[in-house]
Every structure is written in structure tokens, then in C-alpha cells.
Structure 1
């Protein structure tokens, strides 16, 4: 199943020759990049829902925590952890 996962924006930068606003987003200990093109008002410290690498909405901290806890409870966060491990280079 593919869900939108809540995360906290840790930093923002422009990439691709300054044309795309990207963020480093923290998801319970895992950091991933996400486009902020759909949420132009998002800023560092905001919580966003991220779907397939794109932040689709800004949410408040309480809602983000509740949603993340529920996703952990039903085992959907495992997929995020597994995919983050695939992103890392093989040390061998």
C-alpha cells in the first residue's frame, strides 16, 4: 500500500539548477528528500505529508504524531525503513 507519511522538514534547498524546492524530511529517525513544489508555504520545522517523494500538504505536529504512530502500529513504516536501507550504498 502506498500512503502519505508525515515528517518534519529539517532543511530546504533549491536543486536542479535552482528550479525545484527540495527538503530533507525526518520520518521518525529516517531522513529522505521530498519536493516542496505542491506546498510553497512550507518552511523548516513544519510537518508535511509526503507521498512518493512529494510533500502534498502541511499538517500540525499533533496530527503528524498521531498519524505516524498509527502507521507504525499497523506496520506500514517498515516499508519506509526498508526503502531507506536500499538507498544506502553497499559497504562491500
Structure 2
């Protein structure tokens, strides 16, 4: 199963503006935000992530609801987090 997971932008990469450090349930990774071209992305913003790419910005309430749902589905969510832990985007 492929999931879109909410993550909070922690830091923007000034040397590579298409990358941002994002916190996803305690896992911090560089995420490509290039698909959000034309949108303002700042630390504290929430984004929906799939396979290392930000698909859209979402608000905090939507992020919380999605995280609660994902935690409820169990193993698929844990598998997605494990894949994120082992990803390397540079």
C-alpha cells in the first residue's frame, strides 16, 4: 500500500531550495518540495509526502486527522515510516 503521510517542515535547505528537512512522526528526513512550486513553504508548515516528495500543503488539523487515521491502520503505516527512515534524498 502506498500512503501519503503528513510531515511538518522543520528547516529549509538554502543551498538546495527544492529540499526541506521534515519531521514525520519523529523521523526527520530531507524531502523534495519542488512539486510545490509557486507555493510558499516555511518551517512549521505541514505537507503531504509520498515517496520522498511533497505533494501538497495541508493545514495542521488535516495533518492531525491523517496521522490519527494512519496510526490506526497499523502495519502499513509502520512499513511506510520504516521506508522513510531508510530513504536518502540529497
The interval holding the TM-score normalised by the smaller chain is 0.7 to 0.9
Does 2:60 match 1:61? yes
Corresponding residue pairs, total: 84
**Residue of structure 2 equivalent to 1:79:** 79
If the length of structure 2 is used for normalisation, what is the TM-score? 0.81
Deviation of 1:14 after TM superposition, in Å, equals: 4.4
In terms of fraction of residues, the more helix-rich structure is 2
**4+ long deviations beyond 6 Å:** none
Ranges in structure 1 where 5+ consecutive residues have no aligned partner:
88-92
Give 2:45's aligned residue.
46
Q: How much is the aligned-residue C-alpha RMSD, in angstroms?
A: 1.9
Larger RCO, structure (CA 8 Å, separation 6 or more): 2
- Unaligned runs of 5+ residues in structure 2 are none
Structure 1 or 2: larger strand share? Answer: 1
